[in-house]
Amino acid sequence: MTRDRKAATLSPMAEPSAPGRSFDEEALPHLDTLYRVALRLTADPTQAEDLVQDTMLKAYRSWRQYRPGTNARGWLLTILRNTFINDYRRRKHEPVAMDLEAVEPHALYRSIQDTDPEGSFFSQIVDAKVLEAIDALPADFREVLALSDIEGMPYGEIAEALKIPVGTVKSRLFRARRQLQAVLYDHAVEAGYIKPRETAP
């Protein structure tokens, strides 16, 4: 179940002055990751394709700035993210964070623990709905969710790629998951996969 972390374990022996491994060898293996992250950032397949292509071309042109032996995936993701921020039109109605601050972290679990403790209602929700719910998260949230929970990247690598502290990665991730769970739960209730929670007395 756990994705093995394909953190770019490049040889630390790579000579810094040598051309090192080629762009093809270092960058192309990350195309799937770049595409998935681009899909979540843009929430639009056509834009995602353009974003990945732009990213790869930029990376190729600045390949000399890449230090062999460092993390190629993180390096590419930083370029992808900067390209997205600078060149791609943000959605007109960028989703905002739900106000979940007051809610106990496991409030949702409390309401299902007697009827569906394993959260099997999640498996009844169709893929399209899950993706739609992810894409309805605020950009900062879906970004960390994509990198951590979909790509399986460690916090440290995410922090480095996004240039934010590890603590910020964790708090965004935490809130992203809670918002996503709340949305999926509401959907499951609406679709009749699960009985609505009884309002606490």
**C-alpha distance from residue 192 to each of 91, 95, 117, 132, 163 (Å):** 31, 26, 17, 18, 42
**Residue whose CB is less far from other proteins, 13 or 128:** 128
Query: Which residues, other chains included, contact 117 with Cβ-Cβ below 8 Å and sequence gap of 6+?
Result: 109
Q: How far is Cα 97 from Cα 138, in angstroms, rounded to an integer?
A: 6
Alpha helices for 43-71 (secondary structure H): 45-61
Residue type, 142: R
Q: How far is Cα 106 from Cα 104, in angstroms, rounded to an integer?
A: 6
Helix (H, G, I), strand (E, B) or coil at 95: coil
Tell me the closest approach of the beta carbon of residue 13 to other proteins, in angstroms.
27
**Residue whose CB is less far from other proteins, 65 or 92:** 65
**Residue whose CB is less far from other proteins, 128 or 200:** 128
Tell me the closest approach of the beta carbon of residue 150 to other proteins, in angstroms.
5
Tell me the closest approach of the beta carbon of residue 39 to other proteins, in angstroms.
7
**Residue whose CB is less far from other proteins, 2 or 86:** 2
Largest Cα separation within the chain, whole Å, is 70
**Residue whose CB is less far from other proteins, 13 or 101:** 101
Contacting positions for other proteins (CB under 8 A): 1-3, 23-24, 31-32, 34-36, 39-40, 49, 52-53, 56-57, 60-61, 105-106, 109, 112-113, 117-120, 122-123, 127, 130-131, 134, 145-146, 148-152, 154-155, 170, 173-174, 177, 181
Tell me the closest approach of the beta carbon of residue 162 to other proteins, in angstroms.
16
Tell me the closest approach of the beta carbon of residue 8 to other proteins, in angstroms.
17
Query: Helix, strand, coil proportions of the chain in percent (round to 5)?
Result: 60, 0, 40
